[in-house]
Amino acid sequence: MSGREGRTALLSPFDNLINDRRLTQRLWGVAFRNEMYLPKAKREYGYYLLPILHGDAWSAGSPPLRPEPGGLTVEGLYLEADVQPAAALRRAVPAELAELATLVGAADVEYGDTMPERWRSALHRS
């Protein structure tokens, strides 16, 4: 990137940017798959996964989301093996999740137990 911090975005698993799985693999080296079509026992992350882009990189794995009455539960956050969760990323992901909660009419965001330990304090402050 050109010395500026890029935007962080949560992508729908149906987003045109990642719809072509071979292109996703070629651009980011990630073999993303939509697990909602897999039997529950074969899912690695969860039913509905949102890939996270930070700047121009596939910076984080996918948080499974579960809508609850009045809130949005993020069951986990899975980082790609080579991702170092810099402060900018730790600030950006909770902000994007809060924006998503607002969009779907949720009063707040709850975080599940499958969170990287180094993120836990940043997530609960948001």
Question: What backbone torsions phi and psi does residue 109 show, to the nearest 5 degrees?
Answer: -115, 125
Quick check: pTM over 0.85? Answer: no
Does residue 3 sit within a domain? no
Does residue 2 sit within a domain? no
Does residue 1 sit within a domain? no
| Band (39; pLDDT cuts 50, 70, 90) | very high
Does residue 86 sit within a domain? yes
Does residue 83 sit within a domain? yes
pLDDT in tens, 44-81: 877 778 888 888 788 766 666 666 677 788 877 877 77
Is pLDDT above 90 for 111?
Answer: no
d(CA 88, CA 81) in angstroms, rounded, equals 18
d(CA 29, CA 81) in angstroms, rounded, equals 11
